[in-house]
Structure 1
Amino acid sequence: MPLTLCAILLWLPSSHASDNWEIEGSHGTLQVQGNLTESACRLDMSSARQDVWMKDTGTARLAVPGDRAAPVAFEMRLTDCLRTQAGQRDGRTGALSWSSVQPTVSVSFHAPADMDNPQLVKAQGVSGLGLRLLDSRGEDVRLGSRGKPLFLTPGHSSLYYTVIPERTSAPLLAGAYRAAVDFQLSYD
């Protein structure tokens, strides 16, 4: 009986027929949904994964711990930075960076630290060499902690950093090296 009842209901005219839904041409419904959210700057996709190619360095240039090779700069491009009020405290000094018209961001870098010098990123594949990260002011980047708040230009902004190969106290062993450094942007 239930199967017969379902078959009969399928053959009955649609309730739309009474309001001329099917007579005057093709009709349909468009359901639109979305969210309007507060925009923060976004990392440009070309900056999300970067290959930084270091120049060849001779071991003679890194004779003693602390010697440095040629620096290589890289850039992180941000888009959709809106003119907005922002305030952010420096995690190290507690100083407040505040603006009524400029957004702020702080960047933290995460990578395995060199065993002989924890300020440096561990370079895999060699010995006696680590990688120092510097911000645009030439100050050391502390691995694992948020850097100083940086003011951004509404619209598009770029953040500039430098990677420098540096000799450590471990015995120097030449070879190809690599390192992976993750970074995180924090907007407040």
Structure 2
Amino acid sequence: MTPLMAPLLLGMTLCMTQTAGAAIIDNWGVEGANGSLYVTGALTESACRLEMESAYQTVSLGEIGTGRLAQIGNRGTPVGFALKLTDCLTSPSGSRDVRTGGLTWGGDQPAVTVRFSAPRDADNPQLVKAQGVSGLGLRMLDGQGRDVRLGDRGAPLALTPGQNALAYTVAPERTATRLTSGSYRAVVDFHLSYD
């Protein structure tokens, strides 16, 4: 054996030992010791993302005396809330207002319609039913002061790329039923549609 063959033979022996050891440590052939993880998902294109703080909100209307709601149609102080949208993409849109038939179109602006759903007041179906009292409903208005159409898509709103805040208000309003005092509550769901 020549002096150069000894290091070569030693190197080959070490390689074979590591390969044999790796096969033993792997345990791939042992039943029940191995498996596979399948990962799936979807990348979707969305016009905007609703911020979590907007998804679930509590709006407190505070206290109002029955004297301020003496007549049918009298309203308390409106309280504002907003639906905050982020990551709005630049995209074309075309959305028709179901009430007026008008078209909102933008070559590089997304548009959104919002549908609010809640039980309606028996005396005035434009109002949200206030649970726990009688003679009181809740009036919702959009940022332009228009009535929110419960159960229907609202007027299309053009969005700017980036961040947007859709402003609304809610206020207590007297209805035709006899007014009784007490605590009240309501749950209003909403759905955003991008066109």
TM-score range, shorter chain: 0.7 to 0.9
Which residue number in structure 2 is paired with residue 122 of structure 1? Answer: 129
Equivalent-residue separation in structure 2 for 1:60 and 1:128 (angstroms): 13
Which residue number in structure 2 is paired with residue 168 of structure 1? Answer: 175
Which residue number in structure 2 is paired with residue 54 of structure 1? Answer: 61
The counterpart of 1:70, out of the listed 61, 65, 77, is 77
Equivalent-residue separation in structure 2 for 1:68 and 1:36 (angstroms): 46
Distance 1:31 1:166, change over 3 A: closer
What one-letter code is carried by the residue in structure 2 that aligns with 1:114?
D
Which residue number in structure 2 is paired with residue 186 of structure 1? Answer: 193
CA RMSD of aligned residues (A): 2.2
The number of equivalent residue pairs is 166
Distance 1:172 1:32, change over 3 A: closer
Q: Contact (CA 8 Å) 1:55, 1:70: kept in 2 or not?
A: no
Q: Contact (CA 8 Å) 1:124, 1:179: kept in 2 or not?
A: yes
Q: Would you say 1:38 and 2:45 are equivalent positions?
A: yes
Equivalent-residue separation in structure 1 for 2:90 and 2:100 (angstroms): 26
Q: How far off is 1:39 after superposition?
A: 2.3
Q: How far off is 1:34 after superposition?
A: 5.1
Q: TM-score, normalised by structure 1?
A: 0.82
Which residue number in structure 2 is paired with residue 11 of structure 1? Answer: none
Q: How far off is 1:181 after superposition?
A: 0.4
Equivalent-residue separation in structure 2 for 1:182 and 1:95 (angstroms): 25
Distance 1:34 1:109, change over 3 A: closer
Equivalent-residue separation in structure 1 for 2:99 and 2:93 (angstroms): 19
The counterpart of 2:149, out of the listed 117, 135, 142, is 142
Q: Secondary structure of the residue that 2:167 maps to in structure 1? A: strand
**Structure 1 unmatched runs, 5+:** 1-16
Equivalent-residue separation in structure 2 for 1:105 and 1:142 (angstroms): 15
Which residue number in structure 1 is paired with residue 111 of structure 2? Answer: 104
Equivalent-residue separation in structure 2 for 1:160 and 1:111 (angstroms): 18
Q: TM-score, normalised by structure 2?
A: 0.79
Runs of 4+ in 1 over 3 A off after TM superposition: 20-23, 30-36
Equivalent-residue separation in structure 2 for 1:33 and 1:128 (angstroms): 53
